Amino acid sequence: MHSQVAEHVQYGGVVPDVAVREHLTHFFPLLDEAEKTAKLRDEVEGIAVTCGPGLAGCLAVGLSLAKTLALLWEVPLVGVNHLRGHAFSPFLALFDG
DSSP secondary structure code for residue 45 in this structure? S
Rounded Cα distance, 6 and 31, in Å: 21
Asked if 11 and 18 touch (Cβ cutoff 8 Å), the reply is yes
- The pLDDT of residue 59 is above 80: yes
Give pTM, 2 decimals: 0.69
| More confident of the two residues 1 and 23 | 23
Does the CA dihedral 75-81-83-88 come out positive or negative? negative
What domains can you pick out in the chain, each with its CATH number? 5-94 (3.30.420.40)
Taking the C-alpha atoms of residue 78 and residue 97, their distance in angstroms, rounded to an integer, is 17
Average pLDDT of the segment spanning 1-20: 84
| pLDDT greater than 70 at residue 96 | no
